[in-house]
């Protein structure tokens, strides 16, 4: 089985509005660096676009196997980002899908992961 883990940076617009787009771009680059370091042999991390990222994790086993991966990922983002004299701790929402349990088509898997990610979003977020 293969898991996909979708990651969405919460309130990225607020980061851009508060610190500017240059800092926002550097936040995206730092997230990319962290995800590159996070992935293990056989895994892959991608930026889907905007503030969304995707990690592919082969040999996941079952649904229970994704929780340790999520905890390990969240630990990677515990430290404050220090970018251009700005200090912040970005927060993320996570969603996942497992092939073939949740679907056998990438579009369906992405939809399932996105629905789970949306359920993980903070209830009170700025628009």
pLDDT in tens, 16-65: 999 899 999 999 999 999 999 999 999 999 999 889 999 999 999 888 89
Q: How far is CA 110 from CA 32, 82, 121, in A?
A: 20, 32, 16
Cβ contacts of 105 within 8 Å, gap of 6 or more: none
Given CA atoms 16, 37, 74, 76 in this order, what sign does their dihedral have?
A: negative
Output the pTM of the full model: 0.86
By annotation, the residues acting in catalysis are 51
Q: Do 55 and 5 meet the contact criterion of CB atoms below 8 Å apart? A: yes
Per-residue pLDDT, 21: 92
């Amino acid at each position: 089985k293969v898991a996909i883990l979708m990651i969405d940076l919460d309130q990225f617009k607020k980061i851009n509005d508060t610190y500017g787009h240059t800092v926002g771009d550097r936040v995206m680059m730092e997230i990319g660096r962290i995800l590159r370091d996070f992935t293990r042999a056989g895994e892959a991390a991608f930026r889907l676009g905007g503030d969304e990222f995707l990690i592919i994790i082969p040999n996941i086993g079952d649904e229970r196997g994704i929780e340790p991966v999520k905890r390990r990922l969240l630990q990677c983002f515990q430290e404050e980002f220090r970018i251009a004299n700005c200090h912040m701790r970005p927060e993320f929402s996570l969603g996942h899908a497992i092939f073939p349990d949740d679907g056998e088509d990438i579009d369906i898997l992405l939809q399932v992961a996105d629905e789970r990610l949306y359920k993980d979003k903070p209830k009170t977020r700025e628009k």
